[in-house]
Amino acid sequence: MCGKAAVSHLSWKDVYGWASSLTPPRALPADPKDRVNISPSRLRRVREPGSMVWETLPAIYADGATDQPTEATWPFLPYWANGQLPRNKASKLISTANARLRHDGAPFAPSYMGAWAKDLRLLVPVSWFYEFDSRVKPQIPYAVFPLHAPFWTLCGLGSWYTAADGSQKLSVSIITVEPNEILKSVGHNRSPAILQSPHDAERWLRATKQEVLELLQPFPSESMGVEQVPMGIKIPGNENITLPACIAKRP
């Protein structure tokens, strides 16, 4: 799965330069803020709505003839959640940070099928993401980074919602697929869906559903690196992390 991510020295110019088949707007927004520990939005205290911490990930969506950059709220906020973290019938919070690809019946759980039906697909560029080895206690965190690309480009599903100030905002869920051997080796059973080629960026946003399903495959192990990181990465919002040099000095 993808429960934490990093955005480090990521520029929209570089993203559109890599995904050269995309059509950027005439003017790009400010580059995403550097952060090495992005978790999904959360309540600091479950019973206190005022303790809400909203988090975002950089994202690109198809807007007419333009492929528009934005900051998308993470996690996905279904239309029925009224701009809040979704809850089940028992009022317990449910996780929509990741949308698992299904191989039988509908490709996703019902919460995401509206976005799938409307082709509201997003590209989510991140510098690296984190996974946790569930075979040991306490779980050991690992940074997962690309060996042959400047950043990851993840596949997501989006949902528009009305924020508290009345503005329309986009939220995102990262699609997950089967893990490759690298992720299995660190005790993980899911992987974010990662584009394997720059040429796939436009396809993911604009091709037919059948075509884009073919893009949702495990990423090649030989192009993925992993490195153990400090336990402090587990603390949501904690940016005071000394990362290994192979991570911290990535361009």
User: Are 157 and 131 contacting, i.e. CB atoms less than 8 angstroms apart?
Assistant: no
pLDDT of 26 reads 95
Work out the burial of residue 124: count CB atoms within 10 Å of its CB; fewer than 13 is exposed, 13-18 middle, 19 or more buried. buried
| pLDDT tops 80 at residue 250 | no
Nearest-angstrom CA–CA distance, 22 and 19: 6
CATH number given to 4-248: 3.90.1680.10
Rounded mean pLDDT, 139-161: 96
Q: Is the pLDDT of residue 113 over 80?
A: yes
How many other CB atoms sit within 10 Å of the CB of residue 13? 10
Task: Answer yes or no: is pLDDT of 195 > 80.
Answer: yes
Residues 5-25, mean pLDDT to the nearest whole number: 96
**Burial status of residue 174 (CB atoms within 10 A of its CB: 0-12, 13-18, 19 or more):** buried
- Check whether 251 has a pLDDT greater than 70: no
User: Is the pLDDT at 46 greater than 70, yes or no?
Assistant: no
Least confident of 21-30, 41-50, 118-127, 161-170: 41-50
- What's the average model confidence in pLDDT over 151-172? 95
pLDDT of 47 over the 80 cut: no
Compute the distance between CA of residue 200 and CA of residue 212 in angstroms, rounded to an integer. Answer: 9
